[in-house]
Amino acid sequence: MKKFLSTIIASLFIVSFLFAGNPDRQGEAGAYELLMNPWARSAGLHTMNTANITGVEAMRLNVAGIGRINKSQFVLGNTTYLQGTDIRLNSFGLSQKIGKSGAFGLSLMAVDFGDINVTTTDQPEGTGATFSPSFFHLGLGYAHTFENKISVGVLFRAISETTANLSAFGFAIDAGVQYVTGEQDNFKFGISLRNIGSKMQFRGEGLSFQTASPNGLPYETAVNTRTSAFEIPSALNIGGSYDILFPSNRVTIIANFTSNSFSQDQLGAGLEYALNEMFMLRAAYKYTMGQGQNGGLEDPVYTGLSAGLSLEVPFKKGGDSKVGFDYAYRATNPWSGTHNIGIRLNL
């Protein structure tokens, strides 16, 4: 089993180096909504709980955690992204145990940009019409757990970006490993590789326009333009967590490193406190390496701080079935932060 785990971890490292970027590539990727987190519980830890994330939310960070639930889980999420921009993330996910060791997961996320005014060269203030882009992701994942110690998972994601007359489509693959050890399974380690996939390119009628005939004749001709293909933002996450257990209480310490192919790498840590696994508080800080250089022009919108809380109530005393409510806040500069709310059902 140790040899198997070593092989999986080594493979993830090798693939990450093959797809790794460099500082010269920063800002060159597209489809950055793949890095947005629509789930409140992990957002409260700044999406850094690679080692101990479980269930539906694992499909956004480390797919290996899909199966670490009781039986079934359903989650609904709504995110006010960078409050003041009128952008929202709407999400739905489910995970289901299959047999003793397997688990299947499905996740959906849609980005709502609101109504955007149509402008033209002749009417730069707007024509009176509006449009709303549609960004949509569908993910299907599977995870397998070996002897309740090692979990491995893989997820396939379809990516769609469309406007009224332009569209782009692509595929991505996520893979991950989680390892659990300790006398009370209180030490966890995780590695995940995200968004390894095809290039995307916009196509459609929006790239055609009428212009004067090039030979000077008194009529217009149609011209078709082409856009350049762009890559999606791959990332490698390496994290660990440790549970300090007390009667009816738990304190979890997490640490995480993220290597981004098209942006600066990040390092962070966080804490989560749980009372009877019914009420939870969490907070984290994420630092972007190289932050503050070039006059701060390359600094991320998130300032580093995040916090959240959860409440889980069993349907009946002593039962495993619960309904939960999650909230998270991440500080930003500018705008007024990102707010996540979620409702979960554990069966």
User: What three-state secondary structure class fits 34?
Assistant: helix
> Does residue 223 fall inside a structural domain?
no
CATH of residue 39's domain is 2.40.160.60
d(CA 192, CA 21): 17
Mean pLDDT of 188-195: 95
**Residue 233 pLDDT exceeds 90:** yes
Residue 117 lies in a domain: yes
Query: Of all residues in the chain, what percent are helix, strand and coil, respectively (each to 5)?
Result: 15, 50, 35
Report pLDDT digits (tens) over 34-49: 999 999 999 999 999 9
Q: What confidence score (pLDDT) does residue 24 get?
A: 61
The residue-averaged pLDDT of 328-344 equals 95
Span 306-317, pLDDT tens digits? 999 999 999 887
pLDDT at 221: 66
Number of domains in the chain: 1
Asked, for residue 140, whether it belongs to a domain, the answer is yes
Confidence at 128, pLDDT banded by 50, 70, 90: confident
262 or 282, greater pLDDT = 282
Q: Which of 80-89, 114-123, 228-237, 262-271 comes out lowest in average pLDDT?
A: 114-123
In a domain, 208, yes or no: no
pLDDT of residue 119: 87
Q: Quick check: 220 pLDDT over 80?
A: no
Residue 212: other Cβ atoms inside 10 A: 11
Q: Encoding tokens for residue 145? A: 């757990």
Residue-averaged pLDDT of the chain: 88
Within-domain flag for 222: no
CB 24 within 8 A of CB 324: no
- Average pLDDT rounded to a whole number, residues 142-161: 94
Would you say residue 22 has pLDDT above 70?
A: no
Whole-model pTM?
0.89
Number of Cβ within a 10 Å radius of residue 180:
20
The whole-angstrom separation of Cα 80 and Cα 208 is 35
Does 105 map to a domain? yes
Between residues 8 and 126, the one the model is more confident about: 126
In a domain, 243, yes or no: yes
Strands 338-346 and 72-81: antiparallel
Could you tell me which residue, 293 or 82, shows the higher pLDDT? Answer: 82
Q: Does residue 123 form part of some domain?
A: yes
Write down the pLDDT at residue 62: 97
For residues 38 and 90, the answer to whether their CB atoms sit within 8 Å is yes
Residue type, 38: P
pLDDT computed for residue 274 by the predictor: 97
Domain residue limits at 181: 2-200+229-346
Residues 154-177 have a mean pLDDT of 94
134-148 tens-digit pLDDT: 999 999 999 999 888
